[in-house]
Amino acid sequence: MALVQLTISALPAHVRTARLMATAVARRAGIAESALDEIRLAVGEACSRAVEAHRAHCPGRPITVELIDGTADGAAGGAPAQRAADTAAPSNGHAGAARRFEVVVTDRAPAKEPDAAGTDHEFTGTGLYPGETTPPGGVSGLSPDVGLAVIVGLADEVRIEPGDEGTAVRMSWPLEAAA
Amino acid sequence: MDLKLDHHTQDDTEIVVVEGEIDVYTAPRLRELLIDLVNKGNFHLVVNMEKVEFLDSTGLGVLVGGLKRVRAHDGTLDLVCTQERILKIFRITGLTKVFGIYESVQEAIDKRASK
């Protein structure tokens, strides 16, 4: 398993950087060209969501993007550093399981409760538009959940893990499908 | 690449030509242009996305916002797009039912004229 880790400030311009890096690492891992577009878009959505959450809650804190080439099937889970160090990564007892390309975008904004949908990202003045506040729902005016819906539609496997320290969006694609 | 925006009038429609990437960083510029066009009385817009290389949900939201603004004036906002990778996000979000999506600017103009 090989890991590339990227830490970005919560700035919209850096979302593109994360997309480009994710695409480059995925291409090197052997992902099919058709899936590269999916990865690029899904990573962009996850990072955009994280950036907007940080700008609302903790603009000074960084966002982490991990690009993992060769996780075992179903290996998503556990602390990132621990997973990165665990080269065996047998997650669920499936020895020789299919290998995957996994992307984990971890923010440090407060995770919302399931029944508080739509209330966690309130944009109150640190807007991206000069001279005006960001509209409800962020830059687009759409709910951040739309971005998550897009991710679910694009990634082969998705896990969204809210925690005390923020939310991790884990997305993965099978490497075998690229052959 | 970054985002390039241009616009011109064709028949009675304002054509917005978008080139490059529409994301959380660049989408505000497109939003400002659409708002400006509507504020200047352009209520029939066609956004030509044939040279768009990337579009995310932020960009979708800006287009939906533009559509909402022109509809407030009984206007239209149609799209020109034939790229599968761009169309895919419209399909995932169900927005193919919201926008008129055409293969050429002329087709978009003709379709509206025939309604």
Q: What is the CATH number of the domain that holds A50?
A: 3.30.565.10
Q: What tens digit of pLDDT does each residue of A76-110 get?
A: 444 444 444 443 333 443 444 678 999 999 999 98
Q: Which is more confidently placed, A90 or A7?
A: A7
Q: Could you give the percent of chain B with pLDDT greater than 90?
A: 95
Q: Is residue A91 part of a domain?
A: no
Q: Do B64 and A139 touch (CB under 8 A)?
A: no
pLDDT recorded at residue B51 = 97
Q: Is residue A122 part of a domain?
A: yes
Q: Do A15 and B24 touch (CB under 8 A)?
A: yes
Q: Is residue A87 part of a domain?
A: no
Q: Is residue A60 part of a domain?
A: yes
Q: Do B60 and A128 touch (CB under 8 A)?
A: no
Cα gap B48→B7, rounded to integer Å: 10
* B56 vs A contacts (CB less than 8 Å): 41, 44-45, 48, 147, 150
pLDDT recorded at residue A83 = 45
pLDDT at A31 over 80: yes
Q: Which is more confidently placed, B64 or A138?
A: B64
pLDDT band at A34 (very low <50, low <70, confident <90, very high): confident
Q: Do A142 and B27 touch (CB under 8 A)?
A: no
Query: Structural domain tally of chain A?
Result: 1
Q: Do A48 and B54 touch (CB under 8 A)?
A: no
User: Which residues in chain A (117-176) have CB-CB distances under 8 A to chain B?
Assistant: 128-129, 137-142, 146-147, 149-150, 153-154
| Mean pLDDT, chain A, integer | 77
pLDDT band at A112 (very low <50, low <70, confident <90, very high): low
Average pLDDT value for residue range B56-79: 96
Q: Do A45 and B27 touch (CB under 8 A)?
A: no
- Cross-sheet strand order for the sheet of B100-102: B3-10, B13-22, B44-55, B76-80, B100-102
Read off the amino acid at residue A74: G
pLDDT band at A143 (very low <50, low <70, confident <90, very high): confident
* B58 vs A contacts (CB less than 8 Å): 48, 138-140, 142, 147
SS3 content of chain B, % helix, strand, coil (to 5): 45, 35, 25
Q: Which is more confidently placed, A120 or B15?
A: B15
Cα gap B71→A56, rounded to integer Å: 31
Is some CB atom of chain B closer than 8 A to the CB atom of A55?
Answer: no
Residue B105 in tokens: 């600017």
Of A139, A153, A154, the CB nearest to B27: A139
Is some CB atom of chain B closer than 8 A to the CB atom of A23?
Answer: no
pLDDT recorded at residue B31 = 97
pLDDT at A125 over 50: no
pLDDT at A126 over 80: no
pLDDT at A123 over 70: no
The structural domains of chain B, with segments of one domain joined by +, span: 3-113
pLDDT recorded at residue A74 = 53
pLDDT recorded at residue B26 = 96
Q: Do B56 and A51 touch (CB under 8 A)?
A: no
Find the domain containing A135 and state its range: 2-79+98-178
> Is residue B56 within 8 Å of residue A45, measured between CB atoms?
yes
- Domain B3-113 CATH (choose: 3.40.50.2300, 2.60.40.10, 3.10.20.30, 3.30.750.24): 3.30.750.24
Within its chain, how far is the Cα of B109 from the centroid?
Answer: 13
pLDDT at A117 over 50: no
Q: 3-state class of A132 per DSSP?
A: coil
